[in-house]
């Protein structure tokens, strides 16, 4: 029979070492189980777990193993390089126009940079993790750090999509067409302005900014699931990355078409790629855990 | 959480309160400490503080001998160590000497 807090304890076991479990998490769960069940009790255990997680993440660098340091450095360097390269690649077609004699505004590429940044961050985070961690031994601490950094990347993406990209788009249109009173469409409206509209296109645009903002974190979870799998090879990593990016955008724009036709709610279409990836990650993690369990059982049987 | 030996013995306000309670009454578990502190300690932070104090060597802990018919995991009971008692005494004396207006 499941006791209160058993699920939380199972989750904590996956995140923390034995010492933390015995000294910090288990006493909190023991008190939860021995008192009448209350929301405050569960909240306290969750807070304890969050604090332990934060301690693990902020543990000083000299306590890291060289494998961990190398894995983190490679993943971060890879993510940064890919993000910069993709941003430059997306900007490159517009640079000749900006420096062309008679160009309307030399800042044109700058106005368009925010539009490409979320895509560059998503690709950078995924490829950085896939190629930086592939075939390497790394601890839970590295995973926790990478998830924290991916969350930060998600926040940057979201802020960019919600406020900076619309302003950049409008500045671009003004520079090219030069009408101060030009009507703004969904991409040029900020989040607060989009909220007031109810047509599927605007609702999809509103929700897709949240969903695309979450994409770096969701893709990071997926990438970590892939590299944790024992059977990963470099070429399969590359293929998987390609398949994920293409799949993400097919599902996103396929969902948008369905939403515009009124076949699915616009918010559901916007969140569909993230939900699909999370489910896929969960299924892969479960398969990987099962494979590890089977391997362990086979090993124990062989020893016996 | 890996074991870390602190270079300087420090005592935060919460740690000092926990030590005072444990010196007064031995063998308290987390929720008893929260109750005894009259809400100065919070349920969500007391376990982390206790874990840190144990690493510092100020307190020690053991699992209670719970009867088999009691559902749930055994609770962890805490006691002040001789080091913890000395640190508390020194800390209190220093606080009294340096800041008489803040002395308890």
pLDDT at position A101 over 80: no
pLDDT at position A189 over 90: no
Contact A269, A210 (CB under 8 A): no
Asked whether the beta carbons of residue B30 and residue A28 sit closer than 8 angstroms, the reply is yes
pLDDT band at A80 (very low <50, low <70, confident <90, very high): very high
Integer angstrom CA distances of residue A112 from A2, A118, A132, A173: 54, 12, 29, 10
- So what's the pLDDT on residue B103? 52
Count of beta carbons in the 10 Å neighbourhood of residue A15: 16
Asked whether the beta carbons of residue A34 and residue B75 sit closer than 8 angstroms, the reply is yes
- So what's the pLDDT on residue B27? 87
Main-chain phi, psi angles of A134, to 5 degrees: -60, 125
- So what's the pLDDT on residue A275? 95
CA dist A214 and A150 (Å) reads 9
Contact A2, B49 (CB under 8 A): no
Classified as helix, coil or strand, B4 is coil
- So what's the pLDDT on residue A268? 93
Question: Per residue in A41-55, is it b (16+ CB within 10 Å) or e — as a string?
Answer: beebbebbbebbbeb
Contacts of A63 in chain B (CB under 8 A): 2, 4
CA dist A254 and A256 (Å) reads 5
- So what's the pLDDT on residue A180? 64
Highest-pLDDT range among A104-113, A126-135, B82-91: B82-91
* B54 vs A23, A26, A46: nearest CB: A23
Higher pLDDT pick, B79 / A4: B79
Question: Number of A:B CB contacts under 8 A?
Answer: 78
pLDDT band at B64 (very low <50, low <70, confident <90, very high): confident
pLDDT band at A210 (very low <50, low <70, confident <90, very high): very high
C-alpha A303 chain-centroid distance: 41
Q: Is the dihedral of CA A179, A180, A183, A185 positive or negative?
A: positive
* B1 vs A19, A31, A33: nearest CB: A19
pLDDT at position B2 over 60: no
Contact B31, A31 (CB under 8 A): yes
- So what's the pLDDT on residue A299? 67
Mean pLDDT over the full length of chain B: 84
Average pLDDT over residues A13-24: 85
pLDDT band at A303 (very low <50, low <70, confident <90, very high): low
Average pLDDT over residues A236-250: 85
- So what's the pLDDT on residue B100? 66
Asked if the C-beta of B1 comes within 8 angstroms of chain A's C-beta atoms, the answer is: yes
CA dist A51 and B51 (Å) reads 12
Average pLDDT over residues A52-73: 76
Mean pLDDT over the full length of chain A: 85
Asked whether the beta carbons of residue A30 and residue B74 sit closer than 8 angstroms, the reply is yes
Average pLDDT over residues A225-242: 75
Average pLDDT over residues A77-101: 84
CA dist B49 and B13 (Å) reads 11
Distance from CA of A115 to the nearest CA of B (A): 41
B71-80 per-position pLDDT tens digit: 778 899 999 9
pLDDT over 70 percentage in chain A? 90
Count of beta carbons in the 10 Å neighbourhood of residue A207: 19
CA dist A245 and A253 (Å) reads 12
- So what's the pLDDT on residue A233? 67
pLDDT over 90 percentage in chain B? 49
Contact B31, A35 (CB under 8 A): yes
- So what's the pLDDT on residue B84? 93
Higher pLDDT pick, A141 / B104: A141
Contacts of B45 in chain A (CB under 8 A): 47-48, 51
Q: H or E stretch including A159?
A: helix A140-159
CA dist A97 and A248 (Å) reads 31
Classified as helix, coil or strand, B77 is strand
- So what's the pLDDT on residue A157? 95
DSSP assignment of A40-97 equals: HHHHHHHHHHHHHHHHHHT--GGGS-HHHHHHHHHHHHHHHHHHHHHHHHHHGGGHHH
For residue B98, what are its two tokens?
A: 């340096």
Integer angstrom CA distances of residue A153 from A215, B5, B57: 9, 35, 40
- So what's the pLDDT on residue A142? 85
pLDDT at position A133 over 70: yes
pLDDT at position B8 over 70: no
Q: How many helices (H) and strands (E) does chain B have?
A: 4, 2
- So what's the pLDDT on residue A55? 78
Torsional class of A103: left (φ above 0), alpha (ψ -120 to 50), beta (otherwise): beta
Contacts of A168 (CB under 8 A, 6+ apart): A110, A111, A112, A113, A114, A115
Complete domains list, chain B, with CATH: 13-88 (1.10.10.10)
pLDDT band at A231 (very low <50, low <70, confident <90, very high): low
* B47 vs A24, A34, A63: nearest CB: A24
- So what's the pLDDT on residue B55? 87
CA dist A218 and A268 (Å) reads 16
pLDDT at position A262 over 90: no
* B73 vs A23, A26, A40: nearest CB: A26
Q: Which residue has the tokens 């030996």?
A: B5
Average pLDDT over residues A62-77: 82
- So what's the pLDDT on residue A4? 81
Asked if the C-beta of B18 comes within 8 angstroms of chain A's C-beta atoms, the answer is: no
pLDDT band at A258 (very low <50, low <70, confident <90, very high): very high
pLDDT at position A214 over 80: yes
Contacts of A62 in chain B (CB under 8 A): none
Contact A94, A112 (CB under 8 A): yes
Q: Which residue has the tokens 């900007």?
A: A91
For the purposes of burial, counting CB atoms within 10 Å of the CB of A214, is it exposed (0-12), middle (13-18) or buried (19 or more)?
A: buried
């Amino acid at each position: 029979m499941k006791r209160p807090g058993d699920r939380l304890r199972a989750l904590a076991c996956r995140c923390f070492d034995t010492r933390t479990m015995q000294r910090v998490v288990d006493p909190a769960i023991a008190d939860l189980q021995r008192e009448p069940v209350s929301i405050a009790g569960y909240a306290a255990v969750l807070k304890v777990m969050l604090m332990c997680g934060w301690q693990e993440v902020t543990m000083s660098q000299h306590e890291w193993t060289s494998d961990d340091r190398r894995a983190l450095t490679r993943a971060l360097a890879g993510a940064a390089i890919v993000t910069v390269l993709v941003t430059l690649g997306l900007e490159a077609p517009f640079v000749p126009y900006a420096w062309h004699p008679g160009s309307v505004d030399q800042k044109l590429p700058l106005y368009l940079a925010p539009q490409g940044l979320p895509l560059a961050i998503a690709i950078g985070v995924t490829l950085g993790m896939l190629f930086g961690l592939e075939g390497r031994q790394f601890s839970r601490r590295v995973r926790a750090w990478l998830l924290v950094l991916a969350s930060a990347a998600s926040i940057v993406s979201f802020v960019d999509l919600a406020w900076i990209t619309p302003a950049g788009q409008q500045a671009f249109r003004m520079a090219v067409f030069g009408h101060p009173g030009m009507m703004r469409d969904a991409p040029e409206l900020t989040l607060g302005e989009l909220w007031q509209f109810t047509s599927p296109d605007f609702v999809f645009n509103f929700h897709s900014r949240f969903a695309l903002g979450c994409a770096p974190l969701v893709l990071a979870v997926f990438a970590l699931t892939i590299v944790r799998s024992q059977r990963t090879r470099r070429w399969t990593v590359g293929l998987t990355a390609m398949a994920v990016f293409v799949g993400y955008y097919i599902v996103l724009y396929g969902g948008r078409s369905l939403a515009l036709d009124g076949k699915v709610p616009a918010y559901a279409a916007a969140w569909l790629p993230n939900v699909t990836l999370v489910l896929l990650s969960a299924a892969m993690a479960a398969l990987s855990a099962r494979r590890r369990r089977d391997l362990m059982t086979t090993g124990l049987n062989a020893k016996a | 959480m890996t074991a870390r030996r602190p270079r300087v013995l420090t005592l935060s306000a919460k740690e000092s309160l926990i030590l005072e309670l444990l010196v007064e009454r031995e063998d308290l578990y987390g929720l008893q400490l929260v109750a005894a502190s009259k809400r100065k300690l919070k349920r969500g932070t007391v376990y982390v503080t206790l874990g840190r104090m144990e690493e510092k060597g100020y307190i020690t802990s053991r699992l209670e001998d719970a009867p088999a018919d009691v559902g749930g995991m055994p609770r962890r009971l805490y006691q002040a160590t001789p080091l913890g008692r000395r640190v508390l005494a020194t800390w209190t004396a220093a606080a009294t000497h340096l800041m008489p207006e803040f002395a308890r």
